[in-house]
Amino acid sequence: MNSSKTLLVVLIATLIPALSFAYDFKEGGLCYNINKDGKTVTMTYENLIMFAFDAPAPTEKGYKGNIIIPETIKHNGKTYKVTAVDRGTFSCNTDLISVVMPKSVKNIGKETFMYCPRLKEVILPPSITEISDYMFAESGLQNINIPENVKAIGNYAFASSSLKSITIPSSVKTIGRSAFSGCRWMNEATMSNNVESIGEAAFSICPSLKTIHLSSKLKEIGSKAFYECSGLEEITIPASVVSIGDGAFSNCHGLRSIKVQEGNSKYDSRDNCNAIIETATNTLIAGCDATVIPYSVTAIEDEAFVGCNGFKSIEIPTSVKTIGSQAFFYCKNIKELNIPNSVISIEERAFCGCDSLETVVIANSVKSIGYGVFLHDDHIKTVTIGSGVTSIGGWAFKGLDSVKSITSKIENPSSVKMGENVFDEIDKKACTLYVPRGTAASYKETPQWKDFKNIVEQ
């Protein structure tokens, strides 16, 4: 399901139980509900318009053209102040061009402008304090001035919209989950020095984003916050940051420089390594094509190098003990891999999608090879498995179409805990399995190993 359909399904699921289809009166072509105080009104929709998944667009288009919401409205001889805009009021209005809101409006509901593809301009009132969830998701909006009183940008607020740039004012402290996710034309994002939290996937899949100015008070960067921002070339982590989620900068193909400002108590970029290292644990959590892993690093975190296509080889120092899940996922140009004699575990899919990889040597220190570690690395020709391996996850070597030989140094194959289909889709007739002297009989009796037709002692 693509992003637009996903957002629309979410819209339907969340709106149906919450909204009624009635309004109190209509004036000047706009619909209103009288609030409990009897003095103010909330602008609302005439008919709630929603797209069902894979259904054609409705014939009723809702509000059209250029809308100006008045500050006050007269009805039956009484004057009301317009103080709010209801949830979903303009959602799925395919002919809506612009909306101007009066200063009297203090609250704007969720999904208000969601899926308004022709929307070009919205003038927001200065009194609002939040850009609510899904407010402009999937809209045609290219530019927006966020009022200075806004303190938070909600989840999916601008997701998959047509924004070209965004300036986040000094009043904003939090940016919600996926707030700008999928804004493919956004090339610059500037935030004030008061933003403290960037949510999960907040700027993910923004391939045109070349410049991001992070707040000097930033504390938290959520997981996958900048996932697939392939246009980013450099990033500097402020000294204030104390939390960075998994894969925050994964699949950023264009990154050439990653630095942590001096004075950061949690992270560093020691030895000008072009990476982010968690200081206390010596764990490398994010790298790029220009990274040189320092010899003090003891662990490579999950998704640390996802999509780093500049590597043709990678030197993993002998200080490293663990290689995390998807650590080198889709590093497509690595040709040779030597796991040093310090690594104890290689987590699931750590090298999956390394399409150019030809030679793999796993040291004797390695005890655990996770699920799908080399899944479908179909250019691998030779594999050496160290003597210390005690468990191999399912599909670990599945789909190695080009492999000619596997050398196992394991003395007792029956003692190794094997996942399902470890060697699935390997040509067991063409691939030779080399084993330690005196162990061929054992290999020929052990499930999965015995499927190889040519087992040779050496």
What is this structure's pTM? 0.88
pLDDT band for position 310 (cuts 50, 70, 90): confident
Q: List the domain range (segments joined by +) for residue 291.
A: 142-304
pLDDT band for position 312 (cuts 50, 70, 90): confident
pLDDT band for position 49 (cuts 50, 70, 90): low
pLDDT digits (tens, 9 = 90+) for 269-308: 999 999 999 999 999 999 999 999 999 999 999 999 999 9
Give yes or no: residues 349 and 296 share one domain.
no
Tell me if 311 is assigned to some domain: no
Task: Provide the pLDDT for residue 62.
Answer: 81
Give yes or no: residues 244 and 299 share one domain.
yes
pLDDT digits (tens, 9 = 90+) for 338-359: 999 999 999 999 999 999 999 9
According to DSSP, the β-strands at 30-34 and 40-44 are: antiparallel
Give yes or no: residues 295 and 390 share one domain.
no
Give yes or no: residues 292 and 421 share one domain.
no
On whether the CB atoms of residues 172 and 149 are closer than 8 A, the answer is no
Domain limit, last residue, from 304, 335, 365: 304
Tell me if 42 is assigned to some domain: no
Give yes or no: residues 346 and 400 share one domain.
yes
**CATH code, 211:** 3.80.10.10
User: Does pLDDT of 155 surpass 80?
Assistant: yes
Q: Which residues contact 446 (CB under 8 A, 6 or more apart)?
A: 413, 414
Task: Provide the pLDDT for residue 360.
Answer: 97
Give yes or no: residues 200 and 237 share one domain.
yes
In SS3 terms, the chain reads as CCHHHHHHHHHHHHHCCCCCCCCCEEECCEEEEECCCCCEEEEECCCCCCCCCCCCCCCCCCCCEEEECCCEEEECCEEEEEEEECCCCCCCCCCEEEEECCCCCCEECCCCCCCCCCCCEEECCCCCCEECCCCCCCCCCCCCCCCCCCCEECCCCCCCCCCCEEEECCCCCEECCCCCCCCCCCCEEEECCCCCEECCCCCCCCCCCCEEECCCCCCEECCCCCCCCCCCCEEEECCCCCEECCCCCCCCCCCCEEEECCCCCCEECHHHCCEEEECCCCEEEEECCCCCCCCCCCEECCCCCCCCCCCCECCCCCCCCEECCCCCCCCCCCCEEEECCCCCEECCCCCCCCCCCCEEEECCCCCEECCCCCCCCCCCCEEEECCCCCEECCCCCCCCCCCCEEEECCCCHHHCEECCCCCCCCCCCCCEEEECCCCHHHHHHCCCHHHCCEEEEC
Task: Tell me the mean pLDDT in the region 360-387.
Answer: 97
What is the total count of domains within the chain? 2
Task: Provide the pLDDT for residue 47.
Answer: 76
Tell me if 431 is assigned to some domain: yes
Task: Tell me the mean pLDDT in the region 398-417.
Answer: 97
Task: Tell me the mean pLDDT in the region 320-348.
Answer: 96
